[in-house]
Amino acid sequence: AHLDRIAETDGKVHAFLHVDTEGALAQARRVDEDVKAGKAVSPLAGVPLALKDVMTTEGVPTTVGSKILEGWLPPYDATVTRKLKEAGVVILGKTNMDEFAMGSSTENSAYGPTHNPWDLDRIPGGSGGGSSAALAALQAPLAIGTDTGGSIRQPGAVTGTVGVKPTYGGVSRYGLVAFSSSLDQAGPCARTVLDAALLHEVIAGYDEMDSTSINAPVPPVVAAAREGLSGDLSGLRIGVVTQFSGEGYQQGVLRSFEAAVSQLKELGAEIADVSCPSFDHALPAYYLIAPSECSSNLARFDAMRYGLRVGDDGTRSTEEVMSLTREAGFGPEVKRRIMIGTYALSSGYYDAYYGSAQKVRTLITQDFAKAFEKFDVLISPTTPTTAFKIGERADDPMAMYKADLCTIPANLAGTPAMSVPSGLSDEDGLPVGLQIMAPALQDHRMYRVAAAYE
């Protein structure tokens, strides 16, 4: 039924870059056989899922939304892919994304934009717009995203779906094509909080293949979501981050947020404002750290190891082939990031740019720590605006970057954060997201609040 739904709707939505019909049906048959044989199967066995094309899949194309990996068939599964398969999840295919996960609208995909099912002229968010659009278009009940600066939560917010960035290190990065290694985090996307929690427990956990994987028990997110469904938040302390409002925020988004605060109070939560002054500097710090790491990570696309190779006709040097391949294979945003990052890391400027950004990162972590002394979770709108029109910010990188104003601090601090649907804006009738943030390894706290609020 889901494959039929994709065939029916994806000509308009373009959530998928590759539909793996055979692989999906083979996995579904395996689950059927296990069930018939009376074998115990996992709770998500047989449930279809859309996988962001940044996660390697053995023998199935993985492009990361880039021409430079066109035609590449990974020889191995990412840990997340492997865990999904082991749980009997049916991977329907690979979803569209901004090239190398750099963007907030999925317009930077080398394979054309994804359209928001709520209004096909609008963006589905990014970088993981394909995954969230697949959920909103009822093409899949579950999806996987990755969140470096907001790419799970922001698409979740603008498509009216749930998106969770777990604690950094909570889900393995092995086989996740790297953008910014100290920020990248994979996580679950779904249409309900409980569905996201069930998926979270399947993909999370320690992995010796990822040196930054946390060797600690997976936070009890399913139990917390079930607890939250009772709708009782008595005694829970919630902080409203005062930095996330004012100029640049749509009135419809702010009104939806005020309504969310009232509803959480009715559920028994104690709510007060909290100031995190360094969050004002998160965006510029992010746009130094992320490009710096990307300029280093993307050096591996050297025309020799993967995918595309341009100009290799026996007359050119290795350097020339490398240069021609990178020129043809990377899109404008990826080139912009590589140049910014290379500049920020160069010896004369390292202290001024990268060094300063790392100091800001520490201040942000300290602001979170102080706020969590007084509050169990923090909340804010997920995004300053609802989904904007395709093309509206395409020529204005700064306007595009501002879509992640509220989501970036949690990436810099490594703390978990999620977006849960918060109704429709009374301004334009489009979905709005409520962001819930928790301390590291306390992912379950935000699931409890989100399930109660949902």
Q: Which positions lie near ligand GLN, rule CB under 6 A?
A: 101-104, 127, 147-151, 179, 290, 404
Q: Is 278 a catalytic residue?
A: no
151 carries an active-site annotation: yes
Shortest Å distance, C-beta 184 to ligand GLN = 7
**What is the nearest approach in angstroms of ligand GLN to the Cβ of residue 444?**
23
Q: Minimal distance in Å, beta carbon 329 to ligand GLN?
A: 19
CB atoms within 10 A of CB 201: 19
Least distance in Å: CB of 226 to ligand GLN? Answer: 29
When the beta carbons of 293 and 443 are compared against ligand GLN, the nearer one is 293
Closest CA to 226 of 256, 199, 194, 202: 194
Looking at the Cβ atoms of 103 and 431, the one nearer to ligand GLN is 103
Place of tokens 């074998």: 39
Q: How far apart are CA 310 and CA 71, in angstroms?
A: 14
Q: Which is nearer to ligand GLN, 104 or 325 (by Cβ)?
A: 104
Identify which of 170, 168, 158, 71 has the alpha carbon closest to the alpha carbon of residue 116: 158
Q: Which of 66, 104, 109, 127 is catalytic?
A: 127
| In the complex, least distance from residue 364 CB atom to ligand GLN, rounded to whole angstroms | 16
CA 243 to CA 378: how far, in whole Å?
12
Nearest distance in Å: CB 151, ligand GLN: 3
**How far apart, in whole angstroms, are the C-alpha atoms of residue 205 and residue 290?**
25
Active site residue 52: yes
In terms of Cα–Cα distance, which of 54, 28, 5, 43 is closest to 297? 54
Residue 247 CB, shortest distance to ligand GLN, in Å, is 20
Q: Which three-class secondary structure state does DSSP give residue 342?
A: helix
Closest CA to 54 of 31, 72, 36, 27: 72
Q: Which residues of 318-328 are buried (b: 16+ CB within 10 A; e: fewer)?
A: eeebbebbbee
Exactly one of 52, 67, 94, 165 is catalytic; name it. 52
Written as six digits, the tokens of 331 are: 């899109």
**DSSP bridge pairs for 52:** 95
> Which H helix or E strand runs over 136?
helix 129-136
Residue 37 or 398 having the CB closest to ligand GLN: 398
Toward ligand GLN, which CB reaches closer, 68 or 451? Answer: 68
Kind plus residue range of the DSSP H or E element containing 435: strand 431-437
Interatomic CA distance for residues 43 and 27, integer angstroms = 15
Helix locations, 161-307, DSSP H: 193-203, 221-228, 251-266, 282-297
User: What's the rounded Cα separation, in Å, for the pair 454 and 447?
Assistant: 10
- Closer CB to ligand GLN, 3 or 17, in the complex: 17
Residue with smaller CB distance to ligand GLN, 79 or 148: 148
Q: Which of 104, 105, 151, 172 is catalytic?
A: 151
What letters, b where the CB count within 10 A reaches 16 and e where it falls short, cover 82-99?
A: bbbbebbbbbbbbbbbbb
- Which residues are known catalytic residues? 52, 127, 151
